[in-house]
Each structure stands twice: as C-alpha cells, then as structure tokens.
Chains A and B, each alone.
Chain A
Amino acid sequence: MSSPSRSADFRRGVFDILPVLAAAVPIGLLWGTLAAGKGFTPFEAWLTSATVFAGAAQFVAVDMWRDPVPLLLIVVTTFIVNVRHLLMGASLQRHLGAFSGPGGLLAMFLMTDESWAFAERKVLAEPLRPAYYFGVALPMWLVWSSASLAGAIAGRSLGDPAVYGFDFAFSAMFIAILAGFWRGPRTGAVLAMSALAAALAKLVIPGAWYIVIGGSAGVLVAALLHGEDDGQDPGEKPAAYADAA
C-alpha cells in the first residue's frame, strides 16, 4: 500500500469523526471541571482521560470520588461500566487482519463507542484499514484528553456545576446513547427492570453496587425473554450506535 493512499484513508477517518469531536469538547471540558471539583490536579485529570479514555466510566468514577478514595470500588465499577468493550472488541477483532500485532493492541487502547461504531460501519462496505481507523481514533483521544485538561484548569474558577445544570449533562448524555439501543418493547422491559433494580439497590446498599445489580437484572430479563421466541434475535450490532454520537 502506498503512503498517499494511507494519508487519504487517515483524512477520511478524521473527516468522519469531526462532528463527534465537536460534541466531545464540551463534554470533556465538563468532565475536567467535575474532576477539579473533586480535587484532581490538571495533570491528574489529563492522566485519567489519556489512559482510561472512557467517558462514561470517568463520569461515574468522579461521581463516586471522595476522601479517602475508595480505590477498589472505583476500579470494580470502572470495569463494570466498561464491560461493553469486551463485546465490542470481540466483534472488532474479526476485522483487524490488516493491523500488525502492536497496531492491534494500540487500536484496542483507542477503542471508544464512537470509533468502534465507525469501524463497524466501515467493514460493511470494505475491509478496515489501520490508517482509516487511526484517523478516527487518534483525534478523539487528542480532543478528549485536551478538553479534560482545559476543563480541569478552568474548573477551579467555575464553581458548582449544579448551578448551570451541568451535573445533569451526563444523565442526558446516557439517555441519548440509550436511545440508540432501542429495539422495541423487549428493550423497554430490560430498561424498566434495570432502572427499578438499580434505584431500589441505591436506596438500600451503600456505594455504586447498584450499577452491577441493575445491569444484572436487565441482562437477566433479556435472557429470560429470549426463550419466548428464539427466532427473533435483536440486530447483530446496534445500528443506531453512530447516531448517539
């Protein structure tokens, strides 16, 4: 493969991810602000976004952050919130044939809901080339980590995000992502059970275990409902995933 075509692939990836980058800037700023509010230094906020690089988990972690830091609970919760990566990775690994060993490991490090969605969309039309994938994934990393850093620096003078309703922003963001998973009444049953179990668990059990309990309850409902009509699997991949971005 010649290098001009590689750079064209890369540019195509950057072009595809541009709208997502625009959305990631304020959300990254917001996360940095919340982190600073919990006592993160700008470096620590940047380090988190640069190495964890998972928005949902970072918002949940900052929400749980207190003194002394509950390390185990935060790490376990981070793992649970990110368990979806296992599924995304299992699907994506079928399309990494053109990646070198280290290239594949870097590709997975940079995998987000958004870059995964663009990669899965790409393979519907043609094989996934590394230059395209990194054109999508690298700008996302750069923008997310930079916005978080900027938010943490600015956050110290912004004050309480609740005044502006910023504390609700991540609930709103998850609702937007959730809409992309809607597949009909069965999804409704899963979400209802998950919400009910999580809200009840939150009331009686301290810490963030409500996420595991609610998530497990929702998954259980999905497994139970499946037995009632085996033929109808939900779609192979959430097609509307990209819309969430």
Chain B
Amino acid sequence: MSDDLLTVATIVAMAAATYLTRIGGLYLMRGVSVKGRLKAALDALPPAVLMAVIAPTVLATGPAETIAALITVGAAFLRLPMIAVVAIGVAAVVALRALF
C-alpha cells in the first residue's frame, strides 16, 4: 500500500537527516574556531530548541499543563533522576486535569 510506503519513506528520510546531523559535526567545525558570539549562539541552540518544542504545551494548552510544568521544573532543579522528574510531572498533570 502507498500509505505504508510513505510511512517507511518518511522513517528512512528521518534516519538520513538525523545521521547527517550526527556525522556533520565531524566535518563541519573542523578548522573553524568556534568562539565569542558564535559560540554563545551555538551553546544556546539546544536549550532554545528544546524550549520551543514544549512551549505550546506548557504555555498555551491550559492551567493544568502550565502548573504541572512548573511543578516539573521544581523537581528538575532538585536534581532528581530524570525518570522521577517525569513521573512527578505526569502525576501532577493527571491530578490537575481532574481539578480543572
């Protein structure tokens, strides 16, 4: 079925794009001195992208999600293991959804 073909094609293309990012670093930055403003920008890229991914869920879904996110931030800064942070966040959102 063409449906399945499109699915597999998308998966393969995702894999190729991802591998490109993984091996790209071997060649891209070779000989380039990354410092100053460029380094500050590159250092900020991962957190900026991760934040952008979750922003709509956290800010624009509802009070349950926003408050649960704040509780999760608290758990994260307590340096709990990642799985505990996730469990606290999930438990919080379930409880808060029942409230709101």
Contacts and interface: CB of A to CB of B under 8 A. Distances in A.
A245 interface: yes
A104 B26 contact: yes
Contacts of A27: 83, 86
B26 A93 contact: yes
A114 B45 CA distance: 18
A178 B47 contact: yes
Interface in B1-36: 3-4, 6-15, 17-26, 28-30, 34-36
A152 to B, nearest CB: 13
Contacts of A22: 83
A56 B50 contact: yes
A154 to B, nearest CB: 18
Q: Which of B20, B30, B72, B77 has the most CB of A within 10 A?
A: B72
A169 B43 CA distance: 25
A199 interface: yes
A175 B72 contact: yes
Interface secondary structure of A, over-half rule: helix
Interface in B26-74: 26, 28-30, 34-60, 65, 68-69, 72-73
Contacts of A128: none
Interface residues of A, number: 100
B contact residues, range: 35 or more
Contact of B52 (A19, A194, A221): A194
A52 interface: yes
A84 B45 contact: yes
Interface string A69-105: 1010011101111111111111111001000000011
Contact of B49 (A41, A54, A84, A226): A84
A222 B14 CA distance: 29
Given A168-B93, A198-B55, A199-B59, A175 B69 contact: yes
Contacts of A61: 14
B37 A52 contact: no
A206 interface: no
25 contacts: A48-B14, A48-B15, A57-B14, A67-B3, A71-B13, A75-B13, A79-B17, A84-B21, A85-B24, A86-B25, A87-B45, A90-B29, A108-B25, A165-B94, A172-B85, A175-B85, A190-B51, A195-B58, A198-B56, A199-B56, A215-B48, A221-B44, A222-B40, A226-B40, A233-B43
A-B complex: 9 closest residue pairs judged by Cβ atoms: A89-B25, A218-B48, A214-B52, A172-B89, A222-B44, A90-B29, A179-B76, A51-B15, A226-B40
Interface of A: 19, 22-23, 26-27, 39-41, 44, 47-48, 51-54, 56-57, 60-61, 67-69, 71, 74-76, 78-93, 96, 104-105, 108-109, 111, 164-166, 168-179, 181-182, 187, 190-191, 194-199, 202-203, 210-223, 225-227, 230, 233-234, 238, 243-245
